[in-house]
C-alpha cells in the first residue's frame, strides 16, 4: 500500500517535471497545428552538446573510479542489446502482415539507445536527488552497437536463406510499396530499391559474402550522436575539461534538453500518420516493448545491485536505455545495413510511439519503482 | 522642472542600455555596409526562447496571483487592439495616394504586438528596478489577436462593398505593381495575386461569404511567436518548470535579446528602401502612430492604476505593447487574410520605422513618464 | 634548466586544456571519419559572440585606461602586419614551383589575424592566471588590415609590372589549372577567371589604374569577424553593456570556444588534401611562418615591455596574433583583391597547417616563454 502510493505520487510529480512537460507540450502544440519550428541546426547542436556532456561526465567519472564495478553493468548492456533484437525476431516478425526484415530492423532500433531519452532520465534522477554512478551514461554504446550489429547480421542471414525465392518476392514487394502513400522527400531511401530484377539479384550476390561485422560497428561509432559522446568520453578521460564542463556543458544541459523534448514531442505527433501505413502490430509492439525491455533490464540491474553494489539510480539508467529506442544515430545505420527494410515501419514505431512511451511511461515507472524499493 | 530633468536624464541613460544600444548598433553597422549576418535559424530560436520565457513568467505568475486584478488591463488590451485598427482606417486610409486595404493592413500590424519590443521593455524595467506585474507579458495575445481579426474583417467588408468595380481596379493595380521594383524572393506573396481576371473574380466570390473570424484567431494562435508564448504560459500554469526557468530561460534572456535587437536594427535599416516605394504618408504614420497608441494606452493604464492598483510598471508594459507593431507573427497572418494588401507598405512601415520608434523612443518615453510620476 | 623544465611542464599542461584538447579532438574524429557536423549557422553565431565579447572587453577597458600605453603595441602591430607580407614576398615567392601572387596572398593571410586563435590565447592566459591588458584584443585590426592591404597592393603592383607578358602567361595558367583537381563548389571563384584573352586584358587595364587602398580597408572592416569586434568595441566604449557582458557574453565564452576549436580541428584535417595539390613549399612555409612571426612579435613585445610596461601577457597576445593566420575574414577579402591567386594555396596553408600550428604550438610556446621569463 505504501509502495503503491509512493509510486503513484511520484509518477504524477514527474509528469510535471520540465523534461516530461515539454515533451507533452510538444505533442499538444503539434496536435493543435502550431507552426512553431525549432530549426534543424539548433536540434543538431543541442544533441551534440547533450551527448558531449554525457560523455564528459562519464569520462571524468571513469578516470576517478574503480573499473571493476563497471564489468557487470557493461556485460548486461551488451546482453540486452542482443536479446532485444531476438525478442523482435521471434515475436513481432511472426505476426501476420509483418515483414521479417522490417521486424528485425525495428528490433534493432528498439535495442539501440536514444541519447535524448537517456538525458531525460539522468535529469529526472538529479531532480529527485537519486544517486547514480556518474559513468552510467557510458553504458550507452555497449547496448547500442551490439543491437545494431545483431539486427543487421540476422537480417542478412535471413535474406541469404531465402535468396532463391527472392526475385519473385521482390516483385510482389514492389507492388506492395506502390500501394503505399510514402511521404516523399523525408526518407529518400526508397530510391535505393534496385529498379530491375537483374540489379536486385546482383545486389543480393554481394550480400552473399559473409556479413562483415566491423563496418557496421565502425558506422555506428561514426554517427553524430555516438561520435559526440565518445569524443566527450575521451576528453573526460585524457584531458582536463573540468572548467568548460562546469561553466558551459553542465549548466546548459537541462535547458537544452527541454527544447529537445519539445521537438521530440512534435516529431512524435507528426510521425503517427506513418505508423498507420504499416501493420497495426507495430503499434502494439512499440507500446509493449519499451516496458518489457525495461523490466528485463531492471531485473538484471537488481542482480548487479545485490552482487556488486550497482546503485538503484544506475539500475534506473540501465532500464531506461533498454526501454529507449534510437532516433538519431540508429536509423541511418539500419538504412545502410538493411536497405530492403521499410523505414516507415521502424522509424514510425520508434519515434511516434516508442520514444514517448520510454520517456513518458518507462522513466517515471522505473524511477518510481527504484524509489519505492529504496524507500521501503 | 524636476519632472522634466528626471525624464531627460532617464531618456539618455536608457539609450546606453544594452538593449537600445544593440538596436542602434545594428542600424549603424547596416548603414556602414557591414556583412555581418545573424543566421535565420539563430533568430528563430532566440524568438522561441524569449517568448517561451515571457510565457513561463506569466504562467507562473498567474498561478500565484489574483485573477480579478487582471480583468481591467485585459479589457483595455482588447479595446486598444481594435481601436488602433479603426484609427488607421479613418486617418491613414483617408490620405492621398494611400490604398484603403494597405492602410487597414498597416493598422492591423501596428495594433498587433511585437514580442521583441515587449521583451526589450521588460528588460529595461528590470534594469531600472521598476516593479511590474509578472503576468503583464501575458497581455500580449489579448491585444494582438483582436487587432489582426479586426483588420482582416474590416478589410474584407470594405473589399466586398466595392466588389462590383473590383475587376477594373484590379487591372490598374497590376499596372501599378509592374512599375514597382519589388524585392523578389523576400516576399513571394506577389505571386499570390491571381493572374487572370476570372480567377480574381472567383476569389472575390469566396470572400463574399461572411468573413469567418475563428480561422483568423486560429491562425494567429498557431503562429510561431504566439505558440511559443502560449506554450510557456500553459507550462507555467500547469507544470513545475521553475528549475529550467531559473537555470536556462531566465539567465539567457537579456543576452539573447541583445542579439535580436542587433538583428532588428539591421533589418530596420535594410527595409527603409521599401518604404520609399509606397506613399510617404506611411513614414509620417509610422513615426506618429507608436507614440499616439502608447499615449492612449498610458491613459487607460493610469485609469487601471487608480481603479485597481495596476502598477506603474504595468502601465509602461501596456503602453509599449500598444506602441509596438508586429514583426514576426503578424505579417503572415495578414498576408493570408488580406492578400490584396501590399506587404511593402505594411511591413516596411512596421519594421523600418514603427519598431525602432517603439523601442528607441516609446520605451524610454513611457518609462521616463512612469518614473517621473512615481518619483514626484 | 629551471627555465626549460618550467617550459616543458607548461606545454604539456596546456595540451590538456579544454581549448587545445577540443582542437586535437576535432582533428582525431575527422581523421577517424566521424560524421559529426556542427551546423554552419552555429559556427557563425559562435564567431559573432566570441568577437563581440572580445570587442566589448576591449571597449570597456579602453574607456577606463590610459591611451598612451597603447601607442607602442599598436605601432608594432601595424609594422608586423606589413612585415609578414614582405617576408612571404621574399622567401616563399622565391621558391621553385611557387607562383608569386599565390605567395603574396598567403603572406597576407598569415599577416592577418584569426579571431578564434586570439580567443584561444586569451582563454589560456586566463586559465593560467597570467595578467594581460584588457585592451590587448583590440590590437587585432591594427595588424589585420595593414597585412591585407599590403598583400593586395604589392600583388597588384607585381601584376602590373608583368602586364605585357600577362596574356601569354594567362594561357599557360589556364592549362595549369585544368590539370588540377580543384574541389568544385567549395570555392567557386575559379569561375571568376576571365574566360577569354580579351576579357583578361581589359580586366588588367582597370588594375592599371593605381590600386585604391581605401576600398580594401573598407572591405576588411565590413567582414563579419571585424564588424562584430568593432561593434563590440564601440558598444564597450560608448554605452553601458556591462550587465549583458557579465550575464551572457563573458560566461558563454569558453564553452563556445571549445565548440569552435572542435570545428577548426575537423576543418584543418579536411583541408590537408588541398595542400597536396599545390607546391610542397607551402607546407614548409606554414609550419615555420607562425613560429617565426611569433618570435619577431615576441621580441618587439619585449621592447614595449621594458619601454612602456606592456605586460608579459600582452606580449603573448601580440605574439599569438602575429603567429595566427586569418581563416574567416581574410579569405573573401583576398579573393576579391587578388582574384588571380589560387585559394587552394593560401586557404589550405592557413587552415590546414597554419592555424593548428598557431594554436597547438605557438600559443603554448609563447605562453611558456612568458611564464619562464616572468618566473625566473
Q: How many beta-carbon contacts under 8 Å exist across A and C?
A: 76
Res. A165 pLDDT band, cuts 50 70 90: low
Single out the residue of C286, C275, C256 nearest to residue C115, CA to CA. C256
| Count of CB atoms situated within 10 Å of the CB of B223 | 22
**Length of chain C in residues, anyone?**
376
Res. C335 pLDDT band, cuts 50 70 90: confident
CB contact under 8 A, B247 and A256: no
A39-163+171-176+190-375 is classed CATH 1.20.1530: yes
Q: Cα–Cα distance between A256 and A263 in angstroms, integer?
A: 11
Per-residue model confidence (pLDDT) at position C197: 47
pTM value? Answer: 0.81
Residues of C in contact with A238 (CB under 8 A): 16, 21
Distances in Å between the Cα of A202 and the Cα atoms of A111, A166, A190, A196 are: 31, 12, 18, 10
Nearest CA in chain A to C259: A49
Per-residue model confidence (pLDDT) at position A159: 87
In contact, C96 and C22? CB cutoff 8 Å: no
| Tens-place pLDDT, residues C36-68 | 999 999 999 999 999 899 899 989 988 888 888
Least CB–CB distance from B240: residue in A17, A255, A256:
A17
Is the pLDDT at A218 greater than 50, yes or no? yes
Alpha helices in B64-196 (DSSP H): 71-90, 100-111, 115-127, 140-161, 166-179
CB contact under 8 A, A252 and B249: no
Q: Cα–Cα distance between B292 and A298 in angstroms, integer?
A: 66
| Count of CB atoms situated within 10 Å of the CB of C217 | 16
| Tens-place pLDDT, residues C244-256 | 999 999 999 989 9
Question: What's the rounded mean pLDDT across residues A85-94?
Answer: 94
Is the pLDDT at C109 greater than 70, yes or no? yes
Per-residue model confidence (pLDDT) at position C34: 92
Taking the CA of residue B85 and the nearest CA in chain A, the distance in Å comes to 25
- For residue C114 the three cell numbers come to 584569426
Mutation for testing the A interface, residue in B235, B329, B335 having most A CBs under 10 Å: B235
Q: Confirm or reject contact between B374 and chain C (CB < 8 A).
A: no
Single out the residue of A57, A15, A78 nearest to residue A322, CA to CA. A78
CB contact under 8 A, A254 and B248: yes
Q: Dihedral, CA atoms, B38, B39, B43, B48, nearest 10 degrees? A: -150
- For residue B262 the three cell numbers come to 542587433
Q: Cα–Cα distance between A138 and A226 in angstroms, integer?
A: 10
Please give the DSSP secondary-structure letter assigned to residue A131: -
Is the pLDDT at C178 greater than 80, yes or no? no
Residues of A in contact with B41 (CB under 8 A): 39-42
Higher pLDDT, residue C187 or A368: A368
Q: Cα–Cα distance between C117 and C138 in angstroms, integer?
A: 14
Residues of C in contact with A240 (CB under 8 A): 16-18, 21
Single out the residue of A13, A89, A50, A101 nearest to residue A329, CA to CA. A50
Q: Confirm or reject contact between B63 and chain A (CB < 8 A).
A: no
Taking the CA of residue C234 and the nearest CA in chain B, the distance in Å comes to 8
Q: Confirm or reject contact between A370 and chain C (CB < 8 A).
A: no
Question: What's the rounded mean pLDDT across residues C255-282?
Answer: 86
Chain A from 260 to 319: CB within 8 A of any B CB: 262
Per-residue model confidence (pLDDT) at position A66: 80
**Length of chain A in residues, anyone?**
376
Per-residue model confidence (pLDDT) at position B46: 93
Per-residue model confidence (pLDDT) at position C195: 47
Q: Residue C127 — φ and ψ, nearest 5°?
A: -60, -30
Q: Confirm or reject contact between C43 and chain B (CB < 8 A).
A: no
| Tens-place pLDDT, residues B102-121 | 999 999 999 999 988 999 99
| Tens-place pLDDT, residues A5-14 | 766 776 777 7
Is the pLDDT at A46 greater than 80, yes or no? yes
Is the pLDDT at C193 greater than 50, yes or no? no
- For residue C117 the three cell numbers come to 586563435
Percentage of residues in chain A with pLDDT exceeding 90?
46
Res. B168 pLDDT band, cuts 50 70 90: low
Q: Cα–Cα distance between A140 and A149 in angstroms, integer?
A: 14
Single out the residue of C157, C78, C71 nearest to residue C111, CA to CA. C78
Q: How many beta-carbon contacts under 8 Å exist across A and B?
A: 77
Domain ranges of chain C: 39-163+171-176+190-375
For chain C, the chains sharing at least 3 beta-carbon pairs closer than 8 angstroms are: A, B
Three-class SS state of C127: helix
Is the pLDDT at B353 greater than 70, yes or no? yes
Mutation for testing the A interface, residue in B38, B39, B41, B223 having most A CBs under 10 Å: B41
Q: Confirm or reject contact between B34 and chain C (CB < 8 A).
A: yes
Is the pLDDT at C171 greater than 60, yes or no? no
CB contact under 8 A, C255 and A247: yes
Amino acid at each position: 500500500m505504501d509502495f503503491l502510493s509512493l509510486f503513484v505520487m511520484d509518477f504524477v510529480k514527474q509528469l510535471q517535471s520540465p523534461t516530461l512537460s515539454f515533451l507533452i507540450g510538444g505533442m499538444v502544440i503539434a496536435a493543435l497545428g502550431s507552426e512553431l519550428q525549432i530549426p534543424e541546426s539548433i536540434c543538431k547542436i543541442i544533441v551534440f552538446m547533450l551527448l558531449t556532456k554525457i560523455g564528459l561526465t562519464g569520462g571524468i567519472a571513469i578516470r576517478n573510479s574503480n573499473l571493476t564495478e563497471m564489468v557487470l553493468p557493461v556485460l548486461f548492456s551488451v546482453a540486452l542489446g542482443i536479446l532485444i533484437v531476438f525478442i523482435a525476431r521471434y515475436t513481432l516478425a511472426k505476426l501476420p502482415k509483418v515483414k521479417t526484415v522490417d521486424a528485425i530492423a525495428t528490433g534493432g532500433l528498439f535495442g539501440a539507445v536514444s541519447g535524448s531519452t537517456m538525458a531525460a532520465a539522468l535529469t529526472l534522477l538529479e531532480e529527485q536527488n537519486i544517486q547514480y554512478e556518474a559513468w552510467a551514461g557510458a553504458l550507452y554504446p555497449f547496448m547500442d552497437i551490439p543491437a545494431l550489429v545483431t539486427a543487421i547480421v540476422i537480417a542478412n542471414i535471413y535474406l541469404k536463406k531465402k535468396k532463391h525465392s527472392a526475385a519473385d518476392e521482390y516483385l510482389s514487394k514492389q507492388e506492395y510499396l506502390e500501394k503505399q502513400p510514402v511521404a516523399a522527400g523525408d526518407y529518400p531511401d526508397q530510391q535505393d530499391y534496385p529498379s530491375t530484377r537483374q540489379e536486385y539479384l546482383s545486389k543480393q550476390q554481394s550480400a552473399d559474402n559473409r556479413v562483415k561485422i566491423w563496418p557496421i560497428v565502425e558506422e555506428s561509432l561514426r554517427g553524430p550522436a555516438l561520435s559526440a559522446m565518445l569524443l566527450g568520453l575521451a576528453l573526460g578521460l585524457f584531458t582536463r575539461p573540468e572548467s568548460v564542463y562546469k561553466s558551459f556543458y553542465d549548466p546548459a544541459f537541462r535547458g537544452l534538453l527541454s527544447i529537445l523534448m519539445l521537438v521530440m514531442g512534435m516529431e512524435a505527433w507528426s510521425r503517427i500518420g506513418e505508423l498507420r501505413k504499416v501493420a497495426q502490430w507495430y503499434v502494439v509492439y512499440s507500446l509493449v516493448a519499451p516496458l518489457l525491455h525495461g523490466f528485463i533490464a531492471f531485473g538484471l540491474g537488481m542482480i548487479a545491485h545485490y552482487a556488486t553494489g550497482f546503485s538503484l539510480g544506475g539500475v534506473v539508467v540501465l532500464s531506461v536505455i533498454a526501454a529507449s529506442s534510437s532516433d538519431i544515430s540508429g536509423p541511418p545505420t539500419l538504412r545502410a545495413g538493411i536497405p530492403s527494410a521499410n523505414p516507415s515501419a521502424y522509424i514510425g514505431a520508434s519515434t511516434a510511439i516508442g520514444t514517448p512511451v520510454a520517456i513518458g511511461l518507462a522513466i517515471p515507472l522505473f524511477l518510481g519503482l527504484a524509489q519505492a524499493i529504496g524507500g521501503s
